[in-house]
Amino acid sequence: MTTVPLPYRVMSVEAENADCVSLQVTPSGRALPEFSPGRFAMLYAFGVGEVPISVSAIRAGHRLVHTVRAVGAVTAALCRLGAGDTVGLRGPFGTGWDLDGPAGSEVLVVAGGIGIAPLRPVVRHVLRHPWRYGRLRVLIGARAPEDLLYRGELDHWRSAGARVEVTVDRPGPAWRGSVGVVTTLLDRVDAPPERTSALICGPEVMIRHTARALLERGVPAQGLQVSLERNMRCGTGHCGHCQLGPLLLCRDGPVVGYDRARTLLAVREL
């Protein structure tokens, strides 16, 4: 891990929807240490500032992909970058998804909105190692069809053996899929709950409702992992901006076992 931004060159920029882009970057010189799914980097837009962004793909040669949504000055600046531009990276920070714990279990990935980005490497990992895991199910919720990320990749996941279900809150006239929040898709999951490992990322209210619904179906709390978000500034656990009770999420998260996060998420405004 480095606390000084290293220069990375933008290799390509792919527009995912109206306000999200995926930046593929490669080190201009010295590379950061190896990332793992679920961990994040601090991306620095020179002259503007930096923000925490999870890796949405990890590729050979220390190449990384970060999917960024333009919601503020820094993320908007990152979304304006083009191929050949330079971005600063610090990291890797935080905890990643435990991919050993689910071995031998059915794997359920539940994502809301841009929450599919840090879960994308998990899907790819499970599909590359089918002998280690049971069946893979991916449930995705989005505001509208045009907000879906990685639309061109979903059919590839299906053809590789994953069962992928998508629902939207606001369907357009051409939408023929499911409508409603992502928890409505849980009724389609036929995996034995005691042998199910679930990985969840999205808005906090979606995480709470999804985890509660899975617990009611018999999935053990130790079989649930969630990725939590707070206002991360330093990435090193010193500034305290990302505190959630006893946890500093840039250090102790963002991925936390639900058996640990459950009581914290039950406290309003914590």
Q: Is 118 helix (H, G, I), strand (E, B) or coil?
A: helix
Strands 224-227 and 196-201: parallel
Say which residue the tokens 């985890």 belong to.
211
Q: What is the pLDDT of residue 185?
A: 96
**Own/partner pairs for 264-268, CB < 8 Å, 24+ apart?**
265/204, 265/207, 265/208, 265/211, 265/228
* In the chain, alpha helices (H): 73-79, 116-128, 151-159, 204-216, 249-252, 258-265
Distance CA 149, CA 145 (A): 9
Whether the CB-CB separation of 5 and 42 falls below 8 Å is answered with yes
- Which letter does DSSP use for residue 239 in this model? S
Q: Report the top-level CATH class of 2-93.
A: mainly beta
pTM (global) more than 0.85: yes
| Per-residue confidence band for 1, with pLDDT thresholds at 50, 70 and 90 | low
For the segment 204-241, what is each residue's pLDDT rounded down to a tens digit? 999 999 999 999 999 999 999 999 987 777 887 888 88
Q: What is the pLDDT of residue 238?
A: 84
Q: How many CB atoms lie within 10 A of CB 59?
A: 12
Whether the CB-CB separation of 111 and 150 falls below 8 Å is answered with no
Whether the CB-CB separation of 194 and 218 falls below 8 Å is answered with yes
Say which residue the tokens 């998990």 belong to.
122
Determine the average pLDDT of the residues in 112-121.
Answer: 97
For the segment 66-101, what is each residue's pLDDT rounded down to a tens digit? 999 999 999 999 999 999 999 999 999 999 999 999
For the segment 124-157, what is each residue's pLDDT rounded down to a tens digit? 999 999 999 999 999 999 999 999 999 999 999 9
| Per-residue confidence band for 2, with pLDDT thresholds at 50, 70 and 90 | low
How long, in residues, is the chain?
270
Q: Which of 173, 152, 179 is CA-nearest to residue 165?
A: 179
Q: Which of 129, 86, 102, 65 is CA-nearest to residue 220?
A: 102
Q: Which of 172, 150, 258, 145 is CA-nearest to residue 209?
A: 258
Q: What is the pLDDT of residue 241?
A: 86
Q: Which of 252, 255, 249, 251 is CA-nearest to residue 236?
A: 251
Let me know the angle formed at the C-alpha of 225 by 258 and 16, rounded to the nearest 5 degrees: 135
**pLDDT at residue 269 greater than cutoff 80:** no
Q: How far is CA 251 from CA 98, 99, 145, 165, 230, in A?
A: 15, 19, 35, 32, 12
Tokens of 89: 């990276």
CATH number of 106-265: 3.40.50.80
Query: What is the residue extent of each domain of the chain?
Result: 2-93, 106-265
